[in-house]
Amino acid sequence: MSLKVGGKTIMSYVVAGVLLSLIVGTAAYAFALIIKMFASSFTLIHDVGMNVTGSTPTHTAIPVGNETVTLPQPSNTGLSVVADLLTKFLIVVGNVLTSPVGIAVLIALTLITLALTEK
């Protein structure tokens, strides 16, 4: 009995799946680190600027994957509404990009779209 499917062995599919899962997991971890790096540098720059003016900055916490990132919250009410919407958007995007399943789904949808547009 042969374990071949269309000229390729089942083991080659298992190895390809394991390699793909390692790449996707590494990409999810990299996205979390990149988001945390940019958020912490932005928060540091904002805090230094606020300390120069004598104001005390307020922060909001955003869950990104397994990490929690703090971003500055504006004191102006008009800017605060926009910042709340951007924070909610960043929560969704950050959680999709730091989830290996989310990245795998995005890759699969991209490949399906490419395959359908080539016909």
The predicted structure's pLDDT at residue 7: 60
Residue ranges of the alpha helices (H) in the chain? 10-53, 77-97, 100-117
Q: What is the pTM of this model?
A: 0.69
Residue pLDDT, tens place only, 64-94: 878 888 888 887 888 888 888 888 888 888 8
Strand-strand pairing, 4-5 and 58-64: unpaired
* Torsion angle in degrees (nearest 10) through CA of 102, 107, 112, 117: 130
The domains of the chain are located at: 4-117
